[in-house]
Structure 1
């Protein structure tokens, strides 16, 4: 909607009419003059003169109205935007190792691989984290920052959806992922620092071990919530028929549990899409969203529109007047 910063200036709009209606000074005085017979002028000349007398008045009136409108500072008041009142930072570290392609997850009645399930369910969780600054780390042989800390949840979700297996190798560098998160968290001191670590294996690569990374996380007061991904049972076909296997045999639950508990967090086990959804709902309770948020409505100045229109009208009238005078000569 349109508002005015100084609406009281709009009271100046009828000022030209007040000046026009002021009583005029009496000039009916008899003076000696040479009376000349009035020439008879044609009807078209009379109309031209009347029009030429009205044109400046119309132009001045329009320019006055536009000038007063600009002085009143018209503004466009945008929709309300929520501003978080509490500084919470949540880093999400996603495993992109080769084992994430195992198709042992059930999502909406379909069998999908671990990464695709994670993209769908984690994407919904990201959309709900209104007011949090989110960051995204992808790790395999190495860990790298895919999305720095931002309030733009849409971008974080998009970067997650665009991630592909094998992008940074086939192994699992859990320690490097935690270390990178600690480094990024350190840039902002006053915040609730939460690391959401999602993996389906154990630490098999990287420059630092999970134990070393844990010490860094404790020193920086970072809470780790770890999630172990993978089903307990999977039917596998072979030459000798179908057999039941445990696709999550390499999941290091002991280390993931220690990482979470020693930092004040919690370890979760996600065996399918339903488990993952319930975990994220529980995380919403453990790390609740800020309820009392401030709001702001962005203002966009519009005064330059009436100013520009007034200048265009004045310029057009000036050019038209000079053009007519030039043709008369």
Structure 2
């Protein structure tokens, strides 16, 4: 089945004529040589001008139409593809505060910052969520939506990979992250609303109290799974003067999870995070109806290529005529 993905591109059809009407005419340089029979020549040119002018316009019109056809993204839709949609909607809220720079965790046997471990394993988690809709919230001193709920997991993975410590500030606004997640999940099916919150600290910024936000989430049927990140004092760490997880408010994270019917998990290393994600993956999905999808074969290269060939041919013809006229 043939389809134009962006048919609104044809609204640009009158653009060249509008520009011709609105823009001033090109300045014609004055002649340096005056001849007595110039009026007669001009009369001869006027007799044949309209026909030649119309002929010279047609290539431009055809090229413009081909460009509009290419811009409308024509495509051929094949047979409907089977959809495997679980209907599970999940927001990931990831802490980017300054403490995520602490190099107290292990990845592939090497000491790395907490952020590197979280990025690697969140990426793996996202890649395995085929059929789910995921969204991404990043928070530090403030919280913001990096990606709304989407099936485009590749883009979500890229946005998570491009995030860095301090992007949203150096403090930790856990309550604001929960509140923003509630706003995004409020209109979704009650059986599928889940928030996974990953942090290594305590609530030190923002306008929303985490426990109050958790109670509101519970009233909306949203479950929150909290993950506390950071090594224990007994584990190898570059921070030898204190417990690397001294800033982690486990009590609040436990209360937030329990208030919503979720769970709290502690991630001391990469293996712990993988185990946590496997447990979260055991959630029962809520089925959602989905319209059929079709394999689309893009056709825009054909009109675009033809427009390019006509442009080159027209330009070559002009160069050829000028050379022979000289």
Task: Tell me how far apart the structure 2 counterparts of residues 141 and 221 of structure 1 sit (CA, whole Å).
Answer: 27
Per the alignment, residue 194 of structure 1 pairs with 194
RMSD: 3.0
Matched residue count: 227
The C-alpha deviation readout for 1:125-179, integer Å capped at 9, x for no partner, is 1111111111000001110000011011111111100101111111100000000
Per the alignment, residue 95 of structure 1 pairs with 95
Per the alignment, residue 269 of structure 1 pairs with 266
Per the alignment, residue 282 of structure 1 pairs with 279
The structure number with the bigger radius of gyration is 1
The structural deviation recorded for 1:218 is 1.1
Contact 1:83 1:296 in 2 (8 A): no
Per the alignment, residue 211 of structure 1 pairs with 211
* Distance of aligned partners of 1:179 and 1:76 in 2 relative to their CA distance in 1, 3 Å threshold: closer
Contact 1:77 1:297 in 2 (8 A): yes
Contact 2:103 2:238 in 1 (8 A): no
The structural deviation recorded for 1:188 is 2.9
2:220 matches 1:220: yes
Per the alignment, residue 81 of structure 2 pairs with 80
Task: Tell me how far apart the structure 2 counterparts of residues 181 and 251 of structure 1 sit (CA, whole Å).
Answer: 21
Task: Tell me how far apart the structure 2 counterparts of residues 136 and 97 of structure 1 sit (CA, whole Å).
Answer: 16
Unaligned runs of 5+ in 1: 3-74, 306-329
Per the alignment, residue 184 of structure 1 pairs with 184
Per the alignment, residue 255 of structure 1 pairs with 252
Task: Tell me how far apart the structure 2 counterparts of residues 185 and 161 of structure 1 sit (CA, whole Å).
Answer: 23
What SS class does the counterpart of residue 94 from structure 1 fall into?
strand
The C-alpha deviation readout for 1:53-76, integer Å capped at 9, x for no partner, is xxxxxxxxxxxxxxxxxxxxxx66
Please identify, of 282-291 and 137-146, the stretch whose mean Cα deviation from structure 2 is larger.
282-291
What SS class does the counterpart of residue 82 from structure 1 fall into?
coil
What SS class does the counterpart of residue 257 from structure 1 fall into?
helix
Within 5 Å, which residues of 2 pair with 1:62-141? 77=78, 80=81, 82-84=83-85, 86-141=86-141
What SS class does the counterpart of residue 285 from structure 1 fall into?
coil
Contact 1:91 1:196 in 2 (8 A): yes
* Distance of aligned partners of 1:297 and 1:217 in 2 relative to their CA distance in 1, 3 Å threshold: same
Contact 2:88 2:285 in 1 (8 A): no
The structural deviation recorded for 1:301 is 10
Task: Tell me how far apart the structure 2 counterparts of residues 189 and 82 of structure 1 sit (CA, whole Å).
Answer: 19
Per the alignment, residue 37 of structure 2 pairs with none
Per the alignment, residue 20 of structure 1 pairs with none
Task: Tell me how far apart the structure 2 counterparts of residues 76 and 183 of structure 1 sit (CA, whole Å).
Answer: 36
Within 5 Å, which residues of 2 pair with 1:161-172? 161-172=161-172
Unaligned runs of 5+ in 2: 2-75, 303-326
The C-alpha deviation readout for 1:192-222, integer Å capped at 9, x for no partner, is 1000000001001100111221121011110
TM-score by length of 2: 0.63
What SS class does the counterpart of residue 224 from structure 1 fall into?
strand
* Distance of aligned partners of 1:202 and 1:82 in 2 relative to their CA distance in 1, 3 Å threshold: same
Contact 2:87 2:288 in 1 (8 A): no
